Structure 1
């Protein structure tokens, strides 16, 4: 959209806005799924070979979590700059950083080659990746919703979420291909290929995103000189409660995914002894279902608002939490695969509504900061979910009921928060 002389808002080219919101988040999630798969399947042997298998897996997931810790910092920095200087400019910067850092992981020497410097470099790159991602999804969600007419916010707002299943499909598909290599070749060089593919994907994402116009809401703020000088201070002063609600709204979509996706891939491969290709295929099937379902949830949100979609999704994942892990606990290939796929699909329902729901909770002056910190503080907590789940699994002798309890708790937190967020939504952006 753009502002006219009368202040009316007309729709921008839908395809351009949709592709721009989608392109960077697809690369973002491709990078994160690639890293999560590598942390579950290969990093323990490549970067932590001196540790036991369980300790090595926990160390791999710890580097996975480091990126999430850095995300609130990135959200604060890019949110401040995006609220002051524009959404579009920040999104060009973040997509470049994400692609470069991820590609460099594929170039890293291993522990066998340079010793302890290898895991240090891995953690450093993960930290830089987390900072850049801290401003990516939130900026894309803000830009998409601010471009949307009120009656189409659900369809626009779901576009950044589509990056998640597409990124997952690409990442798990590539990993499924390279994991079919003989173990010697996979461990020597095969695992690097998914990371190196980030370089050409970056060029494509950058070209698409460069064609998107600045948000009409931000342009109007500049015209009226309403842009906040200190967005983060204004956010904490005027919208602290909304920030707390936003963090909780995001929880099951992020933490639940890394519990049902990343952790269960590791559990299936390392504990249940299931072929990793089958597990990656199950994750691929779940992502394909989400790819088809997200536009439907966006359409529903246009008619009901995003709040009910988030509420229904959280309630469904709460009801299914223990049955999912009962299935996984059977230890059969079918049980683990079905449990993994069902869990990933159910926790993604609430996630589908996050872009619109969070954007509607904050005023334009602090929206980039509010959406970014809500989403990424939740992500910082969620990033250590696979590590916590692995520790619980060891502490309870391999029993999965504490893991099911985690998913149930995440779902209830998001359910309560979604009810509150529905009441806090702004009528106008």
Structure 2
């Protein structure tokens, strides 16, 4: 399928709404996305600190840690299933109904994790239930990002799609900020309160957050672009099969281009928490506070990057961002290796701030790879098939750390490889979507 064909199939409909109304719709997409990512990231935030000792106890700490990270990875294995199911719903029946279902599923799974018995109480059933609920989180997350991003793009004015897409992307750092901040808060309680019971509180709060997200999404109308497709009878009965049949090459490019946004992020968050607390021996509050400040920097950069994408193009901005990230990979680990909280914070600002430049316009870039009637499935599968790899990055990074004799060059080299793959994917995306002459 050529770039020209895709352009002809993409609705040019811009919603006839006031700017204020569009912003309210995009804000609802952002806030729902943020609450979803809070739930999903919360698991990774406590995986090394809580789940390893309480659900995967053992005499060898490294094995216990890898067990917790494998459970963490189960959520990523399930994400393509969510992309298929909710991509089908979103492309066939509408973006809104799919997004309501994803936030409900995520909230129920997260709340249930907060109620689970530990290994000491339930034995082997505890880690099994934890892993199954993590998979449920993954299914919900698999349908979330593509739909929320697509809703913002389809409502946005054509010349501001980069910026509006970046607003939805703010959901990721907001989720990071909320999850790391809430865990840091309960981790500061005296004595053993955190491991004994307080770790459950951030999970249980999810039931309140999901109610807010459901209310917001219930009051958002279907996008005009999808309504146009439905009226013209251009929706497909099996959009995912159509995607694999008509655009498999573009899907591979999308997976490569998005890989760093998934895999690199979880090396810099879930693995870094483990690295700082287990390998460097620092208190968990050091890295959690650093991640919180890094998430704030990420929010600022996302908006600036979205504006930049509207000026120089989404593809150019993504390529620039990956080049900057590649330059920063080893310096980030060198800063963390100082064991100085201030330098660690600077490292996380670089990791979650400057290295997030490509994340703002990546949704806009991916949407151009696929025709309108397959965009929900295309965005979802690009992000979530890369997530299958990303989910095992903390465990793989731990293995590279062992291989490098606890030296940071091991996981840093792994991260550099991931960034390089995404850089190549972004360049290929630019090539296949260039205007035909």
State whether TM-score is above 0.5. yes
Structure 2: distance between partners of 1:348 and 1:125: 29
Kept in 2, the 8 Å contact 1:34–1:172? The answer is yes
In structure 2, what is the equivalent of residue 326 of structure 1? Answer: 334
Alignment of 1:390 with 2:398, yes or no, is yes
Structure 2: distance between partners of 1:98 and 1:119: 19
In the TM superposition, 1:62-73 aligns within 5 A as: 62-73=70-81
Q: How many Å apart are 1:98 and its aligned residue?
A: 0.5
Alignment of 1:173 with 2:181, yes or no, is yes
Q: 1:258-284: per-residue Cα shift (whole Å, max 9, x none)? A: 111111111101111111111101000
Question: Is the deviation greater in 120-129 or in 206-215?
Answer: 206-215
In structure 1, what is the equivalent of residue 61 of structure 2? Answer: 53
Kept in 2, the 8 Å contact 1:253–1:347? The answer is no
From 231, 242, 245, the counterpart of 1:234: 242
In structure 2, what is the equivalent of residue 305 of structure 1? Answer: 313
From 85, 98, 101, the counterpart of 2:106: 98
Structure 1: distance between partners of 2:43 and 2:434: 37
Kept in 2, the 8 Å contact 1:243–1:370? The answer is yes
Structure 1: distance between partners of 2:348 and 2:295: 11
Kept in 2, the 8 Å contact 1:30–1:167? The answer is yes
Structure 2: distance between partners of 1:307 and 1:31: 30
Structure 1 residues 251 and 278: alpha-carbon distance in aligned structure 2, compared to 1, 3 A threshold? same
Structure 1 residues 251 and 7: alpha-carbon distance in aligned structure 2, compared to 1, 3 A threshold? closer
Kept in 1, the 8 Å contact 2:95–2:223? The answer is yes
Structure 2: distance between partners of 1:315 and 1:227: 38
Kept in 1, the 8 Å contact 2:113–2:203? The answer is yes
From 20, 24, 33, the counterpart of 2:41: 33
Alignment of 1:273 with 2:262, yes or no, is no
Q: 1:308-364: per-residue Cα shift (whole Å, max 9, x none)? A: 111111001111112222223334444444323322223321112122111122111
- Unmatched segments (≥5 aa) in structure 2: 1-11
From 119, 125, 137, the counterpart of 2:127: 119
Kept in 1, the 8 Å contact 2:294–2:349? The answer is yes
Alignment of 1:253 with 2:255, yes or no, is no
Q: How many Å apart are 1:411 and its aligned residue?
A: 1.3
Alignment of 1:182 with 2:190, yes or no, is yes
Q: How many Å apart are 1:237 and its aligned residue?
A: 1.5
In structure 2, what is the equivalent of residue 3 of structure 1? Answer: none
Structure 1: distance between partners of 2:388 and 2:354: 21
Q: 1:14-46: per-residue Cα shift (whole Å, max 9, x none)? A: 222212211221012101221111102111111
Kept in 2, the 8 Å contact 1:321–1:404? The answer is yes
Structure 2: distance between partners of 1:122 and 1:162: 28
From 277, 296, 313, the counterpart of 1:288: 296
SS in 2 for 1:192: helix
Alignment of 1:264 with 2:272, yes or no, is yes
Runs of 4+ in 1 over 6 A off after TM superposition: none
Q: How many Å apart are 1:183 and its aligned residue?
A: 4.0
Structure 2: distance between partners of 1:206 and 1:160: 16
Q: How many Å apart are 1:426 and its aligned residue?
A: 8.0
Structure 1 residues 81 and 176: alpha-carbon distance in aligned structure 2, compared to 1, 3 A threshold? same
Q: TM-score, normalised by structure 1?
A: 0.95
Structure 2: distance between partners of 1:183 and 1:65: 31
In structure 1, what is the equivalent of residue 417 of structure 2? Answer: 409
Kept in 2, the 8 Å contact 1:274–1:333? The answer is no
Q: TM-score, normalised by structure 2?
A: 0.93
Structure 2: distance between partners of 1:83 and 1:31: 25
In structure 2, what is the equivalent of residue 160 of structure 1? Answer: 168
Kept in 1, the 8 Å contact 2:92–2:239? The answer is yes
Structure 2: distance between partners of 1:90 and 1:118: 31
In structure 2, what is the equivalent of residue 17 of structure 1? Answer: 25
In structure 2, what is the equivalent of residue 149 of structure 1? Answer: 157
Q: How many Å apart are 1:288 and its aligned residue?
A: 0.5
Structure 2: distance between partners of 1:377 and 1:159: 23
Structure 1: distance between partners of 2:59 and 2:99: 39
C-alpha RMSD over aligned residues: 1.6
